[in-house]
Amino acid sequence: MCAEGLSFALQSMEGWGGFLGLPITHGGMRINHIFFADDSLLFCKAKEAELRSLQNVLEDYERASGQKLNKEKTSIFFSRNTSTGDRELISHIVGVPITQRYETYLGLPALIGKSRLRAFEGLKGRVLDKVHGWKEKFLSQVGKEVLLKAVVQVIPTYTMSVFQLPKFLCREINSMM
């Protein structure tokens, strides 16, 4: 229930021009937050005014709900085009460290970039680790097949429910199995 209140407050701030979030598509819908269980991603421009608006919403939320932002588990990620000076100023104001790489969120790549194959290299590595781990074990051919179907095929399933994997990567995973 508290998260619903925070979500409403963040959406309201967007309406008042406090902070706009980031556009998903050119000229399209904008997002300023994503919540999952006790995890939150907040999006705003690297401008002091937007940051202050965001801080005000979070402070109001803390007073109303009794929940506090855990700064030890919080970090800031900036886009490439944010100047070093802006990064340092914002990090100082908020009092949390800057992360240089935002690799994954809920086990999925947070940023894909130009190379989709590179973004999903970790997936390929996890499959390879499982397959190599079983080569040393004394399992029958049927036992290995059951393990492949029950465990290895499940590894890319979650990712495939969110992203369309490159065909080349699917062929590589198939050949490993």
pLDDT, one tens digit per residue, over 115-173 is 666 677 777 788 888 777 766 567 777 877 787 777 777 777 777 777 778 788 888 87
Q: How is residue 82 annotated by DSSP?
A: S
Whether residues 17 and 87 fall in one domain:
yes
For residue 156, what are the domain limits?
112-176
100 backbone dihedrals φ, ψ, rounded to 5°: -80, -30
Distances (CA, A) of 118 to 30, 99, 112, 121, 173: 27, 20, 8, 5, 14
**Beta strands 104-105 and 39-42, pairing class:** unpaired
Structural domain tally of the chain? 2
Q: Quick one: pLDDT at residue 56? A: 83
Whether residues 97 and 118 fall in one domain:
no
Mean of pLDDT over the chain: 76
Whether residues 86 and 169 fall in one domain:
no
In a domain, 82, yes or no: yes
Which pLDDT tens digit goes with each residue over 68-127? 878 787 777 787 888 888 888 888 888 887 776 655 555 565 556 666 666 777 777 888
Q: Can you tell me which residue has the tokens 């409403």?
A: 8
Element (H, E) at 22: strand 22-23
For residue 135, give the nearest of 176, 94, 172, 103 by alpha carbon: 176
Q: Quick one: pLDDT at residue 16? A: 64
In a domain, 107, yes or no: no
Q: Percent of the chain at pLDDT above 90? A: 0
> Does residue 2 surpass a pLDDT of 70?
no
